[in-house]
Amino acid sequence: MSHAVFYEPENRLAKAINTPGGKHVETAIFDAEELVVQAADECVEQIDLALTQVYRLAEHAQSQLDALYKAVREVAGLAGTCGLGDLGAAALSLCNLLDQAHQSGRLNAERLQVHLGVMRLLRRPDRFSETERSEILKNLQAVIDKGQAELA
């Protein structure tokens, strides 16, 4: 029989946050959003740094798969925070492509280039209408679905 022990520890977080004082939840969220918005310029700078790294690593993608994945993941995690959600979605799609490459042991260079091209385009989202951006991302998903089907 397998061993299983249950514990019911004191929830210190609950005790701390329920002490009198503090802020209304609504106010706390609003204040936090204000501080995040103030950092938007820095956030975009970080994305651009990560993108530069992505394009550099992509030149030797097969041998730099893990580093490339890490850099793309950085873009995926940050872009939505500073109004570049579609770029983030494209980066997430590239994460999936690199994940597929890890599973199969082979990176499809054409699909990689398609993703890099789309990321370059979506870095300037104002150049496209919402419908166009949505269409671009839909086609990118089709690229990933094709790769997934090949893996199965």
Return residues touching other proteins (CB under 8 A).
2-9, 11-14, 16-26, 28-44, 46, 48, 69-70, 73-74, 76-85, 87-88, 91-92, 95-96, 99, 102-103, 123-126
User: Shortest distance, CB of residue 118 to other proteins, whole angstroms?
Assistant: 15
CA 126 to centroid of chain Cα atoms: 20
Beta carbon nearer to other proteins, 114 or 123: 123
**Cα distances (angstroms) measured from residue 111 to each of 45, 68, 90, 93, 117:** 26, 15, 12, 11, 10
Quick one: 81 or 108, whose CB is closer to other proteins?
A: 81
Nearest 10 degrees: Cα torsion 146, 61, 105, 115: -10
**Least distance (Å) between residue 113 CB and other proteins:** 20
Cβ atoms of residues 90 and 73 within 8 Å: no
Q: How far is the CB of 31 from other proteins (least distance, A)?
A: 4
Chain centroid to Cα 67, Å, comes to: 15
In the bound state with other proteins, the residue whose beta carbon lies nearer, of 29 and 142, is 29
Nearer to other proteins, 4 or 149 (CB): 4
Of 75, 30, 23, give the one whose Cα is nearest residue 48.
Answer: 75
Query: Which residue type occupies 12?
Result: R
Question: Please, what is the minimum distance in Å from the beta carbon of residue 140 to other proteins?
Answer: 15
